[in-house]
Structure 1
């Protein structure tokens, strides 16, 4: 398992929760905006500059995000 920074894992968990809520309540502008901000935070996190983006790392981070958001 890769050691992801806590703030990156937190952002991914919040992304998963927000995505699920948006799927349940489509058209909610505040949820779409939050999802956009969280996507940017995850995608451009400094961790990726240090370690590089690999499919395996993305999959692992998404798994952590789902697990932490009550889904997994």
Structure 2
């Protein structure tokens, strides 16, 4: 897929979703209720972000968004 131009806030939102999910994935997570609520909030914000309102966004764009968010997390 070609390089998609995502808004910076959308990439950071996806990266925050990854961090929250990772915090829940540990063997004995702390504050599970708060983390689950945070994950639900972030999921809603991702789903209804204005970027997705434009028609013609391919489903593969979400995969590219996740890839770019992970790349953002790896940067120092």
Unaligned runs of 5+ in 2: none
Please report the RMSD computed on the Cα atoms of aligned residues, expressed in angstroms: 1.7
Q: TM-score, normalised by structure 2?
A: 0.80
Q: How does 1:47-62 map to 2 (within 5 A)?
A: 47-62=51-66
Figure out how many residues of one structure are paired with residues of the other and give that number: 70
Task: From the two aligned structures, give the one with the greater helix fraction.
Answer: 1
In our comparison, the structure showing a higher alpha carbon Rg is 2
Aligned structure 1 segments of 4 or more residues deviating by more than 4 angstroms? none
Match of 2:17 in 1: 15
Unaligned runs of 5+ in 1: none
